[in-house]
Structure 1
């Protein structure tokens, strides 16, 4: 499958190899590319948070247009800059470009010119992209009356979720309609088993990683499932089994429990951008309007550590939103990724929710919500598992109450799901191995 050489892909590609880099941060790489592409004339340089944002979600239209004003393709300063990369590193880049089907005949000597062209082409494409926030003016309100034809994607027609998992406890949090739900794996023939859970996940692999549009355009379910397995195996090389399992279960729980259809999953973003930094995004209708929910997960041997790790991640996202141009979840609507994943009617419906018309009160979506899956290890000598899980749920709520203000999340709805394992690392490895192999 041919990968798209967009800005995020290109930054990841050259990140470790730039000759005058002071470090290997993505921020530094973006800064150097902007500096050399613009012949050192791009001033002032964007703030660190903006540069990191470019690395994670793509360069902005305004920045691309500014760079193009200073580019001199005759002297090709960017190409000359890439020629300073070491020979061995150029060979590594060439092989990566071949493997990703960016270019089939590239070799070490061709890499500098090809890299320069790919960056120039990306700047041209982004600069010519329509500014959706300014040019698209939906007439629909973003309140609860707005409708979409974006349905849930998970397959659970025979109730396999309820055969695999039992909800033990649900506790509401005292703010923003949030809550914690504790689940347990149901035994198979009286034995602790992953069989039903694996079946539930396997039925939804293609639905997790492929967009609605991609699935609608395919008439071969077996081939699509096989391709999903291959794609997830590639994704797994960039993370670990715990990350993939956490992402899959976040998707399953949000769609099943909250009836919150996915917009994009982390693995979908990886397919397009070859980066695992992006987070899954879902949307949910409430009595007061719409929520955009960011998926987060943490699998840890200790429940308290898992909670703290997940809340810290949400805090980081909140801080990015506070200083980087609005809620993280709405930033994806500024790019072109929607075009390849949804029909024009669905895109218009989504944009009418996120960017309502100017004669309305404004978008209901002012902050991000968070959907958090927590996997943790329990003492398998416990005789009363249900009692233990209820206690865990109550302890999780107390931990959240005590921590939520410290993380600045008290205004953000949170949906949290707990699922215990007897041997967390071993079981997650086994589950993922049976789903996608090695």
Structure 2
């Protein structure tokens, strides 16, 4: 068994995949970023009802995974050992509610897609990264781990960022502004991950895996790359009143393909201009009817703020 197999076995995905394929419909397209390193550029949309995106199943799915996003593997195990599993979602909603940066939906979506689509297990969520007061705040929205079994020749630390905006180009610009900050502080980001390894937020098995990855051992250096995972949410921009429900569904796929056709090269140019071409990039795109309004209403329902339970 090689090192990649050991890493893959030691660090499993935390999210529940039950229902993912029924909630997220992937839209195929021919466009790529044309990078020398690994890349993904993948488009998804939610179910459509009466020419509007339905949030009901997404809300249930996110609520199901909320505790897995907010808490570490060690904390979740403690809930099980102490027979408090029924409290996980309630406590997770409380913790996230106190730290919601306004990008909570984007961070949750990033977590789900990096785990479910890229098969890169979570190391630290945004909530976990921000949990220890007094530590340097991470610029990341997530840190995940992609091992050779996940499709790379060497292990890769995936620094995640998310952005929701009405205009897809604005979302791209915002995401890359964050990436520039992460890149500028990459040594600090890795140090932060190392520091977290020695806290109670990671179980011993996960800590051992990340320690072996990040910290050179006597007699040899550990080899790993860093890459970027990006979630982009934007307004689709189709007016429901202009189409029948059937026509709207047909236009949906066309519009998403049209949008990415006009922005794949824009993303690629960003990567080149910012001298980021030595990294792999994994980009996931999801449209909304109104990203500002929808992100608030979805998270209100997920966290059950104001008594809201569905959307």
Normalised by the size of structure 1, how large is the TM-score? 0.61
Alignment of 1:124-143 (within 5 A): none
Task: Report the equivalent of 1:431.
Answer: 298
Task: Report the equivalent of 1:365.
Answer: 224
Partner residue of 1:311 out of 161, 172, 176: 176
Alignment of 1:270-309 (within 5 A): 270-273=130-133, 277-278=137-138, 279=140, 280-286=142-148, 287-309=152-174
Worse-matched range after superposition: 379-388 or 279-288:
379-388
Task: Report the equivalent of 1:229.
Answer: 93
Q: How many angstroms apart in 2 are the aligned matches of 1:272 and 1:297?
A: 22
Task: Report the equivalent of 1:380.
Answer: 238
- 1:309 Cα deviation (Å)? 1.3
Which one has a bigger Cα radius of gyration?
1
Task: Report the equivalent of 1:421.
Answer: 288
Normalised by the size of structure 2, how large is the TM-score? 0.84
The answer to which structure has the higher strand fraction is: 2
Alignment of 1:193-204 (within 5 A): 193-204=54-65
What SS does the corresponding residue of 1:335 show, helix, strand or coil?
helix
Task: Report the equivalent of 1:24.
Answer: none
- Is structure 2 residue 185 aligned with structure 1 residue 185? no
Change in Cα spacing, 1:183 to 1:338, as seen in structure 2 (3 Å) is farther
Q: How many angstroms apart in 1 are the aligned matches of 2:278 and 2:196?
A: 30
**Alignment: residue pair count:** 285
Q: How many angstroms apart in 1 are the aligned matches of 2:234 and 2:193?
A: 34
Q: How many angstroms apart in 2 are the aligned matches of 1:345 and 1:308?
A: 38
Deviation sequence 1:87-106 (CA, Å, 0-9, x none): xxxxxxxxxxxxxxxxxxxx
What SS does the corresponding residue of 1:400 show, helix, strand or coil?
helix
Q: How many angstroms apart in 1 are the aligned matches of 2:86 and 2:255?
A: 41
Q: How many angstroms apart in 1 are the aligned matches of 2:273 and 2:52?
A: 42
What SS does the corresponding residue of 1:404 show, helix, strand or coil?
helix
Q: How many angstroms apart in 1 are the aligned matches of 2:196 and 2:165?
A: 35
- Is structure 2 residue 274 aligned with structure 1 residue 407? yes
Q: Is the 8 A contact 2:230 2:284 kept in 1?
A: yes
Q: How many angstroms apart in 1 are the aligned matches of 2:166 and 2:154?
A: 37
Q: Is the 8 A contact 1:188 1:195 kept in 2?
A: no
Moved over 6 A (4+): none
- Is structure 2 residue 130 aligned with structure 1 residue 266? no
- 1:191 Cα deviation (Å)? 5.8
Q: How many angstroms apart in 1 are the aligned matches of 2:27 and 2:196?
A: 42
RMSD (Å), alpha carbons: 2.3
Stretches of structure 1 lacking an aligned partner (at least 5 in a row): 1-139
Stretches of structure 2 lacking an aligned partner (at least 5 in a row): 241-247, 307-311
Q: Is the 8 A contact 2:53 2:289 kept in 1?
A: no
What SS does the corresponding residue of 1:273 show, helix, strand or coil?
coil
Tell me: higher relative CO, structure 1 or 2? Use CA pairs within 8 A at least 6 residues apart: 2
